Amino acid sequence: MISTRRLITGLTLRLELYINLIVLPLAVYYGTIAGKYEGKKLVYLIVSAFISGLLATLFGASVRIWKLSRILGALEKPGEDYAAVKLRLLSYPRTESTVIILRWVFGLLCCYLILRSFTPLSWLETLPAFFVLILCIPINGVISYTTTEHLLAPVLMDERIRGIYLPPHMYKPFSVPLRTVFIVVSVLIIPLVTLGHFLFVSHLLSMHFTDLYSHVFIILSLSLAAIFVTVYESNAGIRSGLMMTVRNLAELEKGNLNVEPIPLLTKGEIGVISQYVNILAFSLRNSEEMFSKAFRSSPVGIVIWKIDGGYFLNVNESFTKISGYTRSDVVNSTIGDVGLFSSRDDYDRMINVLVGQGKVRGFDTELCTRSGEIRAVAISAEVIMLWEEPCMIATIEDVTEKKILEREILSIGERERQKIGQDLHDDLGPHLIGIEVMSELLKKKLEQRIVPSADEVEKIRFLIEKAIEKTRRLSRGLCPVFLADHGLESLLQEMASNIREVHGIACVFRYDRSILVDDISVCTHLYSIVHEAIHNAIRHGRGDRIEIELRYDGCTVTLTITDNGSGMSSMEQSQGMGLKIMNFRAAMIGAELKIDSAPGRGTRVTLSFRHDDRCGEGRLQKAGDIS
């Protein structure tokens, strides 16, 4: 951080050096010639110019110290608006140019009053003061503006304000062409005023050629010095900003996004471009960070390959978990070297689809892991250009377990159908045959005009009633969720009743309101999850009490199944096929399944899912126990 005193001292010395060694001598020299000061009047003029120069210097330095101290002091205040401070710093060179105008008016006024105190002045001797203003104010204003802009660069590079972005509409731009016009005009004014005076005001014929040559040489020398200073100071700030802009663009081209922000040193086009380069670098860093985090944290494997040759460029952690290969194992190796695809033809077919359509979606294939295990995966990919080479970015989803679970669910359905078919064949079928035989006997008696007894008819009626019960029970096995038409609680109530009747254990169901689920698929999965949880509690946990609780809070339905069985360890939870199927079913309906269990503590299964219940307030029921 630069010192305020040091900055103001450096700026004052630099400006006063330019003013007192270039502009002031030019003004005094021209004034002596234009006013034809000689003898004592010339001495009085030099003394007056010296004194007024000191007074003008004190005036300019006082204003400079006051203004800059306030601006730089704001940087040290906690909680200050640094954007406003930066804007004030960028606007200060214009303030310095304004002070220069006041300084010259003040200095010339002092010079006139001091000179008048020594000797009377004619209007011809006073008139040059007006031309001195025209001669010196433009060039001195440009010098002070460019010098101040250059010397304020260290402050604008302060870490607290360096990276603050100021949109162009917040300040009035000072373009390079306009700056050049000001410089050219201010420089051309010097020869125009001086040489014009020699040609039209002075008696050119009475002036010796050597004297004219000397005057022109001295004035042109001072003019060239002013031009050199103006161009140097003007280009200094532009050059610094331009070099930093070019350097940052070169680093961005190399892929290095960690570049320092370019400070806004000027209000010209270079300053605006540098700010847009800062925005570009910031946007690229954000984009790279978002991609990098998404790439690393994605639950599916992500791979970047070169299409030509199949070289691995990058892989994420999920890919290493799926394949068993580390990043160093595959990066810069080819598909053939790694032997990732169990069938190279699958890879070639995928590449052909990718090249032809520009993308691949859900391409099913098999990968060979490092351990030799075959994993089923689904690949989606798109073409990207990296370093002017066609590459592909692919997501690899391991669907091995999903396919196993799908097959297991199909197998469960098939076993259920076989069981129902066997029940129809071994139970309901013989039962109906018995009814048919008894009906046939009843028919023969009636044909022989033998009146059957009431017991025979009652027996047939009883058998038909039993057949109806068997049919109802089988129908519930085929479609157990029909009760959900009357609310989810009807389905769970029926299930609790069956558990009590079949297994003879306490099964309590609680709910606080009726919940209607229209989707038959959701009901089926809910029924299967609860059924599996109760089955595990009876078969594995060997509990004698099960509690089923249904709660509705806002838009969330929570279904809890709790038992007092033996519980299970975390290893058993991760290995059980039934639990995996429960998780799979929960994912199918967008529900969250949580299992809390430990040996000797029983098991609590919690299923939560969002549901927009369309039941009216009339469907609300009091909490109750059905046991």
Same-domain status, 370 and 416: no
Alpha-carbon span 612 to 588, nearest angstrom: 18
In a domain, 227, yes or no: yes
Are 129 and 116 spatial neighbours (Cβ–Cβ below 8 Å)? Answer: no
Q: Write the single-letter amino acid at 407.
A: R
Rounded average pLDDT over 219-223 = 76
Could you tell me which residues come within 8 angstroms of residue 551 by beta carbon, excluding any fewer than 6 positions away?
511, 512, 557, 558, 559, 560
- The per-residue pLDDT for range 58-101, each reduced to its tens digit, is 888 888 888 888 888 887 787 778 888 888 888 888 888 888 88
Alpha-carbon span 85 to 71, nearest angstrom: 6
Q: Is the pLDDT of residue 443 over 70?
A: yes
- The per-residue pLDDT for range 282-340, each reduced to its tens digit, is 888 888 888 888 888 888 899 999 988 889 999 999 999 998 999 888 888 888 888 88
CA angle 16, 20, 25 (to 5 degrees): 160
Same-domain status, 316 and 410: no
Strand 603-610 with 620-626, pairing? unpaired
Same-domain status, 492 and 607: yes
Same-domain status, 393 and 426: no
Query: 381: helix, coil or strand?
Result: strand
Are 375 and 398 spatial neighbours (Cβ–Cβ below 8 Å)? Answer: yes
Alpha-carbon span 347 to 365, nearest angstrom: 8
Are 331 and 315 spatial neighbours (Cβ–Cβ below 8 Å)? Answer: yes
Of 189, 222, 254, the position where a domain reaches its end is 254
Rounded average pLDDT over 549-573 = 81
In a domain, 106, yes or no: yes
Same-domain status, 557 and 418: no
Q: Is the pLDDT of residue 479 over 70?
A: no
H-helix or E-strand containing 174?
none
In a domain, 64, yes or no: yes
Bigger pLDDT: 394 vs 169: 394
Best CA proximity match to 470, nearest among 422, 427, 406: 427
Same-domain status, 87 and 234: yes
Same-domain status, 322 and 178: no
> Which pLDDT belongs to residue 619?
35
- The per-residue pLDDT for range 145-185, each reduced to its tens digit, is 888 877 787 777 777 887 787 777 777 767 777 777 877 78
> Which pLDDT belongs to residue 226?
76
Could you tell me which residues come within 8 angstroms of residue 248 by beta carbon, excluding any fewer than 6 positions away?
259, 260, 262, 277, 281
What is the count of structural domains for the chain? 4
Q: Which of 10-19, 40-49, 166-175, 183-192 tops mean pLDDT?
A: 40-49
CATH of the domain at 535: 3.30.565.10
Cα 459 to Cα 222, 295, 455, 456, 470, distances in angstroms: 135, 74, 6, 5, 17
Best CA proximity match to 506, nearest among 626, 623, 365, 596: 626
Bigger pLDDT: 17 vs 283: 283
CA angle 405, 409, 410 (to 5 degrees): 115
Are 552 and 612 spatial neighbours (Cβ–Cβ below 8 Å)? Answer: no
Count of residues making up the chain: 627
Same-domain status, 459 and 553: no
CATH of the domain at 360: 3.30.450.20
In a domain, 278, yes or no: no
- The per-residue pLDDT for range 594-620, each reduced to its tens digit, is 888 888 888 899 988 887 755 433 333
Alpha-carbon span 214 to 203, nearest angstrom: 16
Burial class (CB in 10 A: 0-12, 13-18, 19+), 65: middle
In a domain, 266, yes or no: no
> Which pLDDT belongs to residue 423?
65
> Which pLDDT belongs to residue 626?
40
Confidence of residue 201 (pLDDT cuts 50, 70, 90): low
Bigger pLDDT: 13 vs 485: 13
Task: Tokens for 516, please give them.
Answer: 């209607």
Domain ranges, residue 41: 4-254
Burial 298-307 (b: 16+ CB within 10 A, else e): eebbbbbbbb
> Which pLDDT belongs to residue 420?
67
Of 348, 375, 398, the position where a domain reaches its end is 398
Same-domain status, 105 and 177: yes
Rounded average pLDDT over 536-556 = 84
> Which pLDDT belongs to residue 204?
47
Same-domain status, 507 and 592: yes
- The per-residue pLDDT for range 110-133, each reduced to its tens digit, is 888 888 888 887 777 777 777 777
Alpha-carbon span 379 to 435, nearest angstrom: 59
Same-domain status, 182 and 59: yes
Same-domain status, 539 and 588: yes
Rounded average pLDDT over 201-226 = 65
Bigger pLDDT: 197 vs 453: 453
Alpha-carbon span 336 to 368, nearest angstrom: 12
In a domain, 268, yes or no: no
Could you tell me which residues come within 8 angstroms of residue 594 by beta carbon, excluding any fewer than 6 positions away?
605, 606, 607, 608
Confidence of residue 389 (pLDDT cuts 50, 70, 90): confident
Bigger pLDDT: 533 vs 267: 533
Strand extents, DSSP E, 515-613: 545-553, 556-563, 592-597, 603-610
Average pLDDT, the chain: 79
Q: Write the single-letter amino acid at 88.
A: R
In a domain, 287, yes or no: no
Alpha-carbon span 602 to 266, nearest angstrom: 73
Of 398, 420, 451, the position where a domain reaches its end is 398
Beta-bridged to residue 606, according to DSSP, are 560, 594
In a domain, 530, yes or no: yes
Q: Is the pLDDT of residue 627 over 70?
A: no
